[in-house]
Amino acid sequence: MTSNLRLAAALCVALSLCALLAVPANFPALGGDARLTLAVFALATCAWIATPVDDTYIALGAGLALTATGVISSDTLFGTLGEATVWLLVCAFVLAAAVARTGLAGRAAAFLVGGARTVRQLVHLTTAALVVTAFAVPATSGRAALALPVFLALAKALADRKRLVVMLALLFPTVILLSAVATLIGAGAHLITVSVLWEATGDRIGFTQWLLLGLPLALASSHLAAETVLLTTTRRADRAGPVRVTAEEMQRHSESPVTGAWTQAEKRCALLLATVVALWCSEPLHQVSPAVVALIGAVVASSPALGTVRLKDALRTVPWSLLLFMAATMAMGVALADSGAAKWLVSGLPADVAPGVFLGVVVAVSTAAHLVLQSRSARSSVLVPLVVPAAVGAGVNPVAAALASTAAAGFCHTLPASAKPVTLFADVPGVPTYTPRDLLRLSAVLAPLTALLVLFFAAAVWPLLGVPVTR
């Protein structure tokens, strides 16, 4: 379907829904605010799917429409920018800028990858290194940009083994996307999920709880994906030979030293990052909000005496467009919940559906959603406000359902345009990389595997960690 046909189809669907909602005799259980909310929600979703207009612009327009029509107050719209989760993400990007400035990531990569002697060791050590970056760099696109020089160094060292280079090109974005679920700051979609859960149910997921639930899933899915990439992209002969990646080869693609004595700036930054992560993980002990901890870390990281980056330089790395998008979609979620629109949407679902079936449908829809909505945050903005009330109606724990939906929506590997990391590694000048056919082959195997893994965690692992399937 061409873009024009897709736009026409989406416009017809949106206008048809709006026309149905405009007739008072239709859906008598719906109030005026709910009708307006559903109309705005439908138009925004169709615009996200079918138009080239920036996602943030659409979200801001939807939030403005809901405010202008009185569905939500201006305080609600603007107040979302003051949410603790927004501050957490801003400060996390400042910390990430400090880490990137010192070159700690290059040292860590050289230390881990340099120990590989076989292809499988290289793949899993690279995977472990990429999972660790989820704690230092928020957002998958930032992690992809940070990891690109490491990939270039590996590609140079393995230049005579083209199939291995293609495999690594596919491995990097795959692990970056799947390992994001490890931490609350791994993706903007996580913060949207936390906000929707808080507004709709009063359940708050903190950094520590998310880490407890998400890190095991991130490790399992990342290493499962690493094996899948390895087996679907290479042959037995490709995997048989030894590998050797030296520090000198890594150094050619790094502006800062990857070996030798640590500088004072590197030591200070490493200590600061370790302290911040430790404080995040020990939140139940000291009761200090992760956002406050992140703000303290950002102030120290950018201070004249102890910092490694100037504050104005660090703030340039913050994706303000993403933050505005998050704020606007949070306001849309509030409107869906407060107007009764979300409850009405799920009221027609059968009440006697088994929890396992419900979770299976949620995971399947969330896994496939990237084919329609390319933005990970947009997927959560559309799905989670509907999943939460549907879970309550079906007797399923809304926390388990929302987490399962968000984790499953992290799969977005089918097309080069499905996610920014996939796009970035699909076209690296001077380096052989994967084709759309390679992505389709991987997706056909990995999509059902990751969906089943998320279901397994929701049904068997998370209940052991305090999040049962039912309430």
**What is the reported pLDDT for 457?**
94
Tell me the average pLDDT across 415-420: 74
pLDDT in tens, 52-104: 788 888 889 988 998 988 888 888 888 888 877 788 888 888 888 887 777 77
Is the pLDDT at 333 greater than 90? The verdict is no
Is the pLDDT at 371 greater than 50? The verdict is yes
Is the pLDDT at 350 greater than 70? The verdict is no
Is the pLDDT at 193 greater than 80? The verdict is yes
Tell me the average pLDDT across 406-433: 81
Q: Say how far apart CA 292 and CA 289 lie, in whole Å.
A: 5
| Average pLDDT value over all residues in the chain | 82
**What is the reported pLDDT for 450?**
93
Tell me the average pLDDT across 334-348: 77
**What is the reported pLDDT for 257?**
67
Per-residue pLDDT band at 1 (split at 50, 70, 90): very low
Phi-psi region of 310 (alpha: psi -120 to 50; beta: other; left: phi over 0): beta
**What is the reported pLDDT for 453?**
94
pLDDT in tens, 208-244: 888 899 999 999 999 999 999 988 888 887 777 777 7
DSSP per-residue string spanning 236-291: HHHHHSB----HHHHHTT-SS-SSSSPPHHHHHHHHHHHHHHHHHHTHHHH---HH
Who has greater pLDDT, 308 or 3? Answer: 308
Is the pLDDT at 51 greater than 80? The verdict is no
**What is the reported pLDDT for 221?**
94
The single-letter code of the amino acid at 366 is S
Lowest-confidence pick of 60-64, 169-173, 322-326: 322-326
Tell me the average pLDDT across 382-393: 84
Is the pLDDT at 342 greater than 90? The verdict is no
**What is the reported pLDDT for 243?**
74
**What is the reported pLDDT for 256?**
66
38-52, 314-328, 393-407, 421-435: which has the highest mean pLDDT?
A: 393-407
Report whether 101 contacts 60 (CB < 8 A): no
Question: Phi and psi for 242 in degrees, rounded to 5?
Answer: -75, 165
**What is the reported pLDDT for 251?**
64
Report whether 162 contacts 350 (CB < 8 A): no
pLDDT in tens, 446-455: 999 999 999 9
Here the tokens at position 25 are: 């005799």
Report whether 79 contacts 86 (CB < 8 A): no
Residues ≥6 apart with Cβ < 8 Å to 434: 166, 169, 170, 233, 425, 426
**What is the reported pLDDT for 228?**
92
Q: Say how far apart CA 410 and CA 249 lie, in whole Å.
A: 32
Q: What percent of the chain has pLDDT over 90?
A: 12
**What is the reported pLDDT for 225?**
93
Who has greater pLDDT, 127 or 426? Answer: 127
Is the pLDDT at 163 greater than 60? The verdict is yes
User: Which has the closest alpha carbon to 333: 22, 63, 48, 17?
Assistant: 63
Per-residue pLDDT band at 2 (split at 50, 70, 90): low
